[in-house]
Amino acid sequence: MRAHLFEGIAEMTRQRILESAREESYAQRDFMFRQGDPARHFFILGEGRVRLSVGQGELLAYVACDPGDLIGWSSLVENETYTASAECLVPVKALRIEKQRLDEILQQDPASGMVLFKNLAALIGRRLIKGYQATLSVQGGREPSPGG
């Protein structure tokens, strides 16, 4: 499976990570995790569409729909719980990777660990920009006024 998160890391390290992964399937309307659940895993989307939402009102944050999309990155940034809920909009196949096992593998290859976390930072930045663009389009392209 091709994932942007793993681009540029050593092939042997990438193989070890993928060998530690578990392939999982979810039905439409299943939750891979809910906001507030312990963040012990992250997922690489194989196929399907997953809606990430936050808060009681289920405010849409992002829709993961491209093979290789990262879901559950809260576990990678030392959050104890997921900051969003991940609901399957259609049947989903994904790789589940345990954060603790990833840490063990990357301790043996710190250079690949640094590349992986640079890739993660870029991914988070792209999602943040998409969020800003979506907010601006809802506001008709206006910058938000000070104080709200």
Sheet containing 70-71: order of strands: 22-26, 92-98, 41-47, 70-71
pLDDT tens for 5-17 read 999 999 999 999 9
Quote the pTM value: 0.83
pLDDT tens for 1-57 read 678 899 999 999 999 999 999 999 999 999 999 999 999 999 999 999 999 998 876
pLDDT at res. 139 = 62
What are the structural domains of the chain?
A: 4-130 (2.60.120.10)
Q: Which residue has the tokens 């993928």?
A: 18
- Assess whether pLDDT exceeds 60 at residue 142: no
- The rounded mean pLDDT for the chain is 88
pLDDT > 90: percent of the chain: 66
Q: Are 100 and 43 in contact (CB under 8 A)?
A: no
CA–CA gap between residue 106 and residue 104 (Å, rounded): 6
pLDDT tens for 85-130 read 999 999 999 999 999 999 999 999 999 999 999 999 998 888 777 7
- Assess whether pLDDT exceeds 80 at residue 145: no
